[in-house]
Amino acid sequence: MRKQVANAFAPGGALAAHIAGFNAREAQLEMAQAVAGAIETPAALVVEAGTGTGKTYAYLVPALLSGKKVVLSTGTKNLQEQLYFRDLPKVVKALASPLQLALLKGRSNYLCLFRLEQHYNHVPMQDDQLIQDLSLIKKWSAETQSGDIGELSYISEDSKALPYVTSTTDNCLGKDCPVYEDCHLLKARKKAQAADLVVVNHHLFFADLALKDTGFGELLPQMDVIIFDEAHQLPDIASDYFGENVSSRLLLDLCRDIDVACKTELRDHPQLAKTADKVAQLIKDWRLQFGNDATKGNWREAYQKPEMQTALNRVSEAIDMLYLVMKSSLGRSDLIDNAFERLALCKARLLKLTDMQQNGVSLWYETTRLHVSLHLTPLSIADKFRDIVAADNRSWVFTSATLSVNNGFSHYTAQMGLNNAKTLLLESPFNYTEQALLCVPRYMSEPHEQGMARQLLQIAVRLIEANNGRCFFLFTSHRMLQMVAKQLPDLIRQPVLVQGSTGKRLLLDQFVKLDNAVLLGTGSFWEGVDVRGDTLSCVIIDKLPFASPDEPLLQARSEDCTMRGLDPFAQVQLPQAVITLKQGVGRLIRDVTDRGVMVICDNRLVTKPYGEVFLTSLPPMRRTRSLDEAVNFLQQMKQDH
Amino acid sequence: MQVSFYLLSDTPAEDQARQNELSTTPAHFTLACQLCADLYRAKQRVFVYTASQQQAEAFDELLWQFDAERFVPHNLSGEGPKYGAPVEISWQAPRQNRQVLINLATEIPAFANRFSQIIEFVPAAEQLKAQARERFKQYRQLGVNPQTVNAN
């Protein structure tokens, strides 16, 4: 296969002949050969391919040439679509590959015919937009082949109609569904099982692996090769899926379904409706034991409060009662039978989440204005994942532009239990010394001190003026984002776009279209944003992206680290911040011709010993501490055009 | 008090011209950076004294651009953590006690006696060399016998 791979990438080879503008790069071929090796052996391989290496082709070519069954998993639905509709067809055509391909998304992306019918006939609430969307979806349902909600480009991503026309594991009737044979989700899964290469996303992959979505666990066992792109996201996602959770929302939905069933199919059973009402009331009482604001916290600590225990005990008792009442009414209504199964599941989870004696897990809660959810997160997923990788002689490839810290992979491989994996570090072909300037301005306050907002504004205004906008201003806290968002528009001529004012995709479209805008954002804009050229040529960051210490996942990992006698800062917090910062830099320089300035308004990068870890992990940008230099760089860029 | 004078030899005119083109950084600044890196790794807290704020910032810039593998955490006076970074650069008197003084100014600062170790330079340029000789004499008058180190 190595020879075939080399031929495909060779000058005048299959890729060059069929893909316009294709230029084989040495690092790309090196990666393709390593992937081919991992597929043949079979073995596990971890590859960091710096931005611009061309990693997508480097794994697609050996995957398609191998003739084995391949799962390709990436970070988001958008990336899945990009891969399936843009990159994959090019390579398939170039290699004249006869393989069967499939795209598979999560359950909530497929039209549920049963629920559409249900809610189209009985509109759940009087809302003009909802009614309009429902009828558009109804019309589309007659035409669509795939039932993929992604085709509904004319309906807003957050349309209220979508939850009513898609299913969840909780409300899916499964084999009892009257339109089971026509189920789009089922068809998509069958197609995926029959395909040679399936494109999925990480959430779906782990849901399948952790058997969190029944009826689908059949996918993985048939696969020979598993390739993860954007693999740096796996530790967080895997931790989520190897954990457990239960929420007041889930329980209240359940009570509501019982109520609906009692009003329609089981009119002769007033006791059931009453018992369900009681559960719902007690759950709302329990929510009141937490503060009003949306927050996250340690569940073990919160559970210490006697009032908390009392409130939750009442919920448990009422659930037990409901369980008994429902048990005696089984077999009369599909809705009730389904709700009974869900109730049993919730009951078991609730028991697990109130077991305060268990070790090796972090227990935490999260509240929204109306709801509370309890979560159990394993302190480490390394053992679990190691077993999965070791079983059944499969090939595993993990790749991303940001996996290494300080030129090593130990942080990643230890977290994922991949200690025996081969690793490969491929540097970006970009000339960062020429293309990018990293500036940490002098005489800033310490990050926690007063007056930071004023200083940030002063710096931002200079950069925005010099660059005529075209700038991302990324924050580590919403509080600072709000403070700046309030004042910045009065200080500059350029348009200011603020995260949260509209959806992420729309905001990015506006940013590109305006070509002189400033976008204020937090976490989610560090990743998965691809704005090429001068449109984005300046990134300002308010603070080093250390996760907040009360972040439950971080707490869990830190706990685990301390238990093993290691320093949680060096082992957990620092590497995670380094990866995030690398992602941020990745937004700035997307192409060999891109140039730009990265300004980090946090002098700890200069004054703290750990600055070394950041600097040795980031691409080798030229460094300065002079804001004037940064402004000059931007002005010079403008003149060069 | 231990005082060391690092002697810098003449750089060929060609080299000097090239260096001037790239930056205005004098050779003994580069040497001071390397010494900072060594001292930081030897866990010494260092105070770098400069003649002016402008010079302090020039040295700060140089240290920041220094080899990432030999990173030196540092701050200018007026920024940084409460008790300063391992290396502090200033054109004013130090705020706390540190072991090592690296003097980049042309005169001996009044607070020099607060340090147990002082590093001085004898640059190749004539005027700077003369000023260094003057400082050497002054240390002797203070009863210190400075040692000389050949920097090359």
Q: Which two tokens stand for residue A512?
A: 């590109």
Binned at pLDDT 50, 70 and 90, residue A457 comes out as: very high
Inter-chain residue contact B73 with A606, CB threshold 8 Å:
yes
Inter-chain residue contact B85 with A608, CB threshold 8 Å:
yes
- For A606, name the nearest residue in chain B, comparing CA atoms only: B73
Rounded to whole angstroms, how far apart are CA atoms A53 and A34?
Answer: 14
- For B75, name the nearest residue in chain A, comparing CA atoms only: A607
- For B84, name the nearest residue in chain A, comparing CA atoms only: A607
Name which of A397-411, A504-518, B29-43 the model is least confident about.
A504-518
Note the pLDDT tens digit of each residue in B104-135: 999 999 999 999 999 999 999 899 999 999 99
Inter-chain residue contact B81 with A607, CB threshold 8 Å:
yes
Structure-token match 């491989």, residue found: A413
CA of A437, closest CA in chain B: separation in Å?
11
| A-chain residues near B60 (CB < 8 A) | 442, 625
B115 Cβ contact list (under 8 Å, min separation 6): B1, B47, B98, B99, B100, B101
In single-letter form, the type of residue at position B91 comes to W
Note the pLDDT tens digit of each residue in A309-346: 999 999 999 999 999 999 988 888 888 888 998 999 99
**How distant, in Å, are the alpha carbons of A202, A275, A284, A520 from that of A371?**
27, 20, 8, 29
pLDDT > 90: percent of chain A: 65
Minimal CA–CA distance to A188: which of A267, A101, A259?
A: A101
Q: Which two tokens stand for residue B111?
A: 């607070």
Inter-chain residue contact B64 with A623, CB threshold 8 Å:
yes
Choose the closest CB to A612 out of B61, B71, B85. B71
Q: Average pLDDT of chain A?
A: 91
Inter-chain residue contact A616 with B85, CB threshold 8 Å:
no
Q: Is the pLDDT of residue A216 over 70?
A: no
CA of B42, closest CA in chain A: separation in Å?
13
- For B77, name the nearest residue in chain A, comparing CA atoms only: A443
> What is this structure's pTM?
0.85
CA of A601, closest CA in chain B: separation in Å?
12
Residue A540, strand partner residues: A473, A599
| A-chain residues near B65 (CB < 8 A) | 622-624
Question: Does residue A164 contact residue A115 with C-beta atoms inside 8 Å?
Answer: yes
Q: Is the pLDDT of residue B21 over 50?
A: no
Chain A interface disruption, residue of B71, B83, B87, most A CBs within 10 A: B71
Characterize the bridge pairing of strands A372-378 and A361-367: antiparallel
Q: What's the pLDDT at B14? A: 46
Inter-chain residue contact B64 with A606, CB threshold 8 Å:
yes
Inter-chain residue contact B64 with A625, CB threshold 8 Å:
yes
Size of interface A-B (CB pairs under 8 A): 57
| A-chain residues near B85 (CB < 8 A) | 606-608
Note the pLDDT tens digit of each residue in A80-98: 998 999 999 999 999 999 9
SS (H, E, C) A132-175: HHHHHHHHHHCCCCCCEHHHCCCCCCCCCCHHHHCCCCCCCCHH
